[in-house]
Amino acid sequence: MIAIITIIILLTCVVLGFFVLIQNPKGGGLSGSFGSISSQVMGVKQSTDVMEKGTWVSISIIAGLCILSIMFASKPQIVDKKGKQSTTQSAPAKKTAPSK
């Protein structure tokens, strides 16, 4: 399950990178590359809103999947000197000097 979540997180990171890279800080971004056609179909303001919403949705998906992956993570197995596996590590017994 962790492998599937990790792959989805990586794909969402690529999508997030796409949204971030095509945005222009001055507001042109994707709408400026298509010329007048995009301003007639979507409009400059609407194109910027789509890119911003895509960015926020991608960030939310990544955050949610990261939190979800913690629920499926297994506890580390600790092998003691005798070869037994345990999920918790106990403190070594304290040796006391014999009383005289």
Ordered by start, the domain boundaries in the chain are 1-18+42-74
**CA 56/CA 49 separation, integer angstroms:** 11
**CA 6/CA 75 separation, integer angstroms:** 18
Output the pLDDT for position 2: 86
Q: What is the pLDDT of residues 38-87, one digit of tens each?
A: 444 444 556 678 888 999 999 999 999 999 998 888 777 777 677 666 55
Using a cut of 0.75, tell me whether the model's pTM lies above it.
no
Rounded to 5 degrees, φ, ψ at 79 are -105, 125
